[in-house]
Amino acid sequence: MISFAIKTLLSNRSKLFTGVAGVIFSLVLVNIQGGLYLGLMKKASLLVDHNDADLWVTHKLVENVDLAREIPESWQQRIRGLPTVQKAVPYIVGKGTASLNSGHMEDVWVIGSEPDSMLGSAWGFVAGSRADLRRPYGVSFDEVDSEKLGHPQIGEWLEVNGQRTRVVARTNGITGFITMPYLFTTYNTARNLVHMPSGLTSFILVKIRPGKDRIALQQLIQQRIPDACVYLPEDFASISQKYWMKRTGIGISFGAATLLGLLVGLTVVGQSLYAMAIDHLKDYATLKAIGARDSDVCSVILTQTIWIATVGTFLGMLVVYLIANFWNSPLAPVYIRPLLSAASVVVMFVICIVAAFVPYLRIRKIDPVTVLIG
């Protein structure tokens, strides 16, 4: 019955097109919404995700990497004393205000890394390098923030919190969840710029010796410094993401849009299949009159459904990857994860099969006698 199902489907091009379009629309909406959501969430943990630290030591009340609280700088000595620690360095994430040549002010985040390792410093350089950041008062900014900062050129001065910094590098792709420009520099420059009190810092970043157990070290540091919170990077990234998710309700809005996409898909596919079934009631009645079982009729509808879902999925995922490649930007990153795509495809097939249920019930009701006695 497969050939009957497909040929009948192909003979009804407008409804086939509508059904396939419904699947494409749903898949694109779900994947792009999901991709944008994941992209935004990644921005919330950008500083953690692009940092090589094995452990983050923070204040107990810290819920987000961008919103640090001061901790004693001396904790790094207590951590360095542990046998499996390769390195423990302080790291500053602090707020500043840049004064622009235009007279405008712009809030910025100042990120300061220990100059020897430059752990947690900038990446994605399009001009200058990490080494340049070690120059006195050297800072980097991201191309995305160029307009906000008055289009500073390499070598120009930029005033932050009343102190002069020199622009020595430019990056691409470093933009955080709250869209304030990140200025990367060395630890001491950052300390001066954000007026960090002496003896305090934002985080301690820990590198573990190769082959040693991260979890064991995490517990050890936690025991040694009970006032601290010690996080694995993936946990701290997750905490940072959840912070914004809870505070902004962003998950609900994206989730609602995704659900809407699925509902639209369900409706469009269901409506197309139903309309197609109604158009071919005579054929189904004939099939039943010549002895088709309910399972034969069911297989026809299911074949048509799976065909629509397969073609729609193929085209839909093509559109998704085109959009993700051409639309993706640091400001609106679209993270298309294989797991998200696979899940959306599975959900789409389930939705299509659910949508096929209504026309199936309608066809099941057809009395074969209608072929003889109309």
Please state, in angstroms and rounded to a whole number, the distance separating the CA atoms of residues 319 and 342.
Answer: 15
* Comparison of 156 and 296: residue with beta carbon closer to other proteins: 296
Stretch that binds other proteins, among 4-12, 52-60, 129-137, 184-192 (CB under 8 A): 4-12
Pairing of strands 125-127, 85-99: unpaired
Structure tokens at 147: 């307009």
* Comparison of 63 and 296: residue with beta carbon closer to other proteins: 296
Q: 68 — alpha (psi -120 to 50), left (phi > 0) or beta?
A: beta
In the complex, what is the shortest distance from the CB of residue 2 to other proteins, in angstroms, rounded to a whole number?
9
Q: Is 290 in the site for other proteins (CB under 8 A)?
A: yes
Q: Is 3 in the site for other proteins (CB under 8 A)?
A: yes
Q: What are phi and psi of 82, to 5 degrees?
A: -80, 140
* Comparison of 13 and 338: residue with beta carbon closer to other proteins: 13
Q: Is 291 in the site for other proteins (CB under 8 A)?
A: yes
The string of DSSP letters for 58-82 reads EETT---TTS---EETTHHHHHHTS
* Comparison of 12 and 328: residue with beta carbon closer to other proteins: 12
Structure tokens at 17: 């097109």
* Comparison of 88 and 287: residue with beta carbon closer to other proteins: 287
* Comparison of 107 and 367: residue with beta carbon closer to other proteins: 367
Stretch that binds other proteins, among 1-9, 100-108, 240-248, 305-313 (CB under 8 A): 1-9
* Comparison of 155 and 291: residue with beta carbon closer to other proteins: 291
Using N-to-C axis directions, what is the helix angle for 294-327 and 281-289, rounded to 10°?
140
Distance (Å) of CA 167 to CA 83, 111, 146, 314, 330: 39, 14, 11, 47, 21
Using N-to-C axis directions, what is the helix angle for 250-279 and 294-327, rounded to 10°?
140
In the complex, what is the shortest distance from the CB of residue 254 to other proteins, in angstroms, rounded to a whole number?
42
In the complex, what is the shortest distance from the CB of residue 367 to other proteins, in angstroms, rounded to a whole number?
8
Q: Is 296 in the site for other proteins (CB under 8 A)?
A: yes
Selected from 61, 215, 339, 372, the binder of other proteins by CB under 8 A is: 372
* Comparison of 235 and 283: residue with beta carbon closer to other proteins: 283
Selected from 36, 149, 221, 287, the binder of other proteins by CB under 8 A is: 287
Selected from 282, 327, 331, 354, the binder of other proteins by CB under 8 A is: 282
* Comparison of 107 and 279: residue with beta carbon closer to other proteins: 279
In the complex, what is the shortest distance from the CB of residue 315 to other proteins, in angstroms, rounded to a whole number?
23
Amino acid at site 268: V
The string of DSSP letters for 309-373 reads HHHHHHHHHHHHHHHHHHH--SSS-----HHHHHHHHHHHHHHHHHHHHHHHHHHHT--GGGGT-
Selected from 288, 307, 316, 320, the binder of other proteins by CB under 8 A is: 288
Residue 199-218 contact track with other proteins, rule CB under 8 A, x = bound: --------------------
Q: List binders of other proteins among 5-34 (CB under 8 A).
A: 7-8, 10-11
Q: Is 373 in the site for other proteins (CB under 8 A)?
A: yes
DSSP state of 177: T
Q: List binders of other proteins among 328-367 (CB under 8 A).
A: 367
Check if the beta carbon of residue 119 is closer than 8 Å to that of residue 51: yes
In sequence order, which ranges of the chain are alpha helices (DSSP H)? 2-10, 13-44, 46-49, 75-80, 130-133, 187-193, 214-224, 233-248, 250-279, 281-289, 294-327, 338-364
Stretch that binds other proteins, among 185-193, 229-237, 292-300, 330-338 (CB under 8 A): 292-300
* Comparison of 4 and 321: residue with beta carbon closer to other proteins: 4
Distance (Å) of CA 294 to CA 148, 287, 300: 66, 10, 10
Q: Could you give the 3-state DSSP secondary structure of residue 271? A: helix
Stretch that binds other proteins, among 100-108, 229-237, 258-266, 279-287 (CB under 8 A): 279-287
Footprint of other proteins (CB under 8 A): 1, 3-4, 7-8, 10-11, 282-283, 285-294, 296, 367-369, 371-373
